[in-house]
Amino acid sequence: MKIKAAVLREMGAQAPFATSQPLQIQELDLRDPGPGEVLIKLKAAGLCHSDLSVITGVRPRPTPMALGHEASAVVEALGEGVNHLKVGDLVALVFVPSCGQCLPCAEGRPALCEPGAKANTDGTLLSGARRLYGFGGTPVNHHLGVSAFADHAVVSSRSCVKVDAPIDPVEAALFGCAVLTGAGAVINTAGVKAGESTAIVGLGGVGFSAVLAAVASGARHVIAVDLHDSKLATALELGATAAFNAKDPELLEKIKALTKGGVDFAFEFAGSVHAMESAYRMTRRGGTTVTASLPPPGDTWALQQVNLVAEERTVKGSYVGSCVPARDVPRYVDLYLAGKLPVNKLMGQRLKLDQINEGFDRLHTGESMRDLIVFD
């Protein structure tokens, strides 16, 4: 079938993207789903830094590539062997398909699926196949097994989590990346308990999701840190107990004074070494610093080993929020419906597909919440 998709032909575009136009809306040939795959009609797709990092070349991927990974969709057709979904199901798309058989999957850590990671790096579906083709039959790579900036897509059924709840299909898109990653970092990776103290550095869709999860977990301190005062104000509206601008020269001293020595858990979502250093330094002795951001591969952080040992610190990475998507997406949706995880308040502008480059300009400047491409 013929579809329209936002295709990145080459990486390294410079902002403003409204001028450089790195993403071109093109007609592609979408082949039928193979075994274990499904054809989906997209409802909405969020604009995320993981997409932006491919556009700028920070995280290299094979091109041409149809971008987009955080999305919701309705199932339109099933490939051979798919029996846990049916036509008409609303699904949230997960950006790491899990094979269910490798060692990480067997250990209950599907975010670390080895075949899924290889497929994502290669620009294929979990099966190793490509279902997108451009002019003259040229293969087009899939982004993280989803390629959601398109009206239709073919994905592995293992990239889909059924959303069996009365939720706005557009809002459901957030649960596949922002909510899984941010809330999961708080709930799964860190295991924040009621009465513990937290700081969240970097308020994008993921960081705001972490704020909501920390509030829902009963943290006594939920401290928001960002460069944009408007986002700090929003964090306070969402339940943060304090908010500080990251440019404040007394940032660390203020947080340590407020928390009597530092927070139990500091979360870094800004994607910079400076932010990671700040998060580590605002963590108390014996505390844990968690990062879920993906800075340029060449960036390194100089960790003082004696401090790590003498203060019994913990530094942890969190990918896809250490989630089991089939378990956690329904849980987080239930929390949302109960009013305990109001992710709808994170939504920014609703854009058309042909506005996508302008949307990435807003993301690049840091001014946007979670803007989404919404399909008819």
> Hey, what are 354's tokens?
């042909």
So what's the pLDDT on residue 367? 79
> Hey, what are 33's tokens?
């789903």
Q: 277 and 369 in one domain?
A: no
Q: Domain range spanning residue 62?
A: 2-176+342-374
Q: Give the integer Cα–Cα distance in Å for 139 and 63.
A: 10
Q: Give the integer Cα–Cα distance in Å for 7 and 257.
A: 49
Q: Is residue 334 part of a domain?
A: no
Q: 198 and 152 in one domain?
A: no
Torsion angle (degrees, nearest 10) of CA 191, 238, 345, 316? -30
So what's the pLDDT on residue 135? 86
Q: What is the DSSP string of 141-180?
A: EESTTT--SBSEEEEEGGGEEE--SS--HHHHGGGGTHHH
Q: Is residue 308 part of a domain?
A: yes
So what's the pLDDT on residue 328? 98
Q: Is residue 325 part of a domain?
A: no
pLDDT in tens, 232-265: 999 999 999 999 999 999 999 999 999 999 999 9
So what's the pLDDT on residue 160? 98
Q: Is residue 331 part of a domain?
A: no
Report the largest interatomic distance among the alpha carbons of the chain, rounded to a whole angstrom: 65
Give 376's pLDDT tier (boundaries 50, 70, 90): confident
Task: Tell me which H or E stretch contains 316.
Answer: strand 314-317
Q: 196 and 112 in one domain?
A: no
Partners of 45 in the β-ladder: 71, 373
> Hey, what are 345's tokens?
């308040």
From the centroid of its chain, how far is CA 276? 18
Q: Give the integer Cα–Cα distance in Å for 300 and 295.
A: 9
Q: Is residue 324 part of a domain?
A: no
Q: 304 and 197 in one domain?
A: yes
**Which stretches within 32-124 are classed as H helix?**
49-56, 103-106, 114-122
pLDDT at 319 over 90: yes
So what's the pLDDT on residue 368? 83
| Torsion 74-76-80-86 (CA) sign | positive
So what's the pLDDT on residue 369? 86
Partners of 52 in the β-ladder: none
Q: Are 243 and 233 in contact (CB under 8 A)?
A: yes
Q: Please give the model's pTM, rounded to 2 decimal places.
A: 0.96
CA angle in degrees (0–180, nearest 5) for 341-52-10: 155
How many domains is the chain partitioned into structurally?
A: 2
pLDDT in tens, 3-38: 999 999 999 999 999 999 999 999 999 999 999 999
What's 298's domain CATH number? 3.40.50.720
Q: Is residue 288 part of a domain?
A: yes
Average pLDDT, the chain: 97
Q: 155 and 22 in one domain?
A: yes
DSSP 333: H
Q: Is residue 141 part of a domain?
A: yes
pLDDT in tens, 263-307: 999 999 999 999 999 999 999 999 999 999 998 888 999 999 999
pLDDT in tens, 177-217: 999 999 999 999 999 999 999 999 999 999 999 999 999 99
What's 44's domain CATH number? 3.90.180.10
So what's the pLDDT on residue 300? 92
Q: Are 344 and 168 in contact (CB under 8 A)?
A: yes
CA angle in degrees (0–180, nearest 5) for 19-20-25: 95
Q: 168 and 86 in one domain?
A: yes
pLDDT at 49 over 90: yes
Please name the amino acid found at residue 263: V
Q: 259 and 369 in one domain?
A: no
Q: 111 and 204 in one domain?
A: no
Q: 310 and 190 in one domain?
A: yes
Q: Are 125 and 97 in contact (CB under 8 A)?
A: yes
Q: Are 29 and 133 in contact (CB under 8 A)?
A: yes
So what's the pLDDT on residue 348? 92
Q: Give the integer Cα–Cα distance in Å for 126 and 319.
A: 18
Q: Give the integer Cα–Cα distance in Å for 253 and 51.
A: 35
DSSP 131: -
| Strand 152-156 relative to strand 242-245, pairing | unpaired
Q: 295 and 229 in one domain?
A: yes
327-331, 356-360, 368-372: which range is least confident on average?
Answer: 368-372
Q: Give the integer Cα–Cα distance in Å for 98 and 156.
A: 9
pLDDT in tens, 101-158: 999 999 999 999 999 999 999 999 999 999 999 988 999 999 999 999 999 999 999 9
Q: 202 and 109 in one domain?
A: no
DSSP 227: S
Q: Write the CB contacts of 217 (distance below 8 Å, at least 6 apart in sequence).
A: 186, 187, 192, 193, 194, 196
Half-sphere exposure of 28 (CA within 13 A, CB side): 32
Q: 194 and 171 in one domain?
A: no
Q: Is residue 312 part of a domain?
A: yes
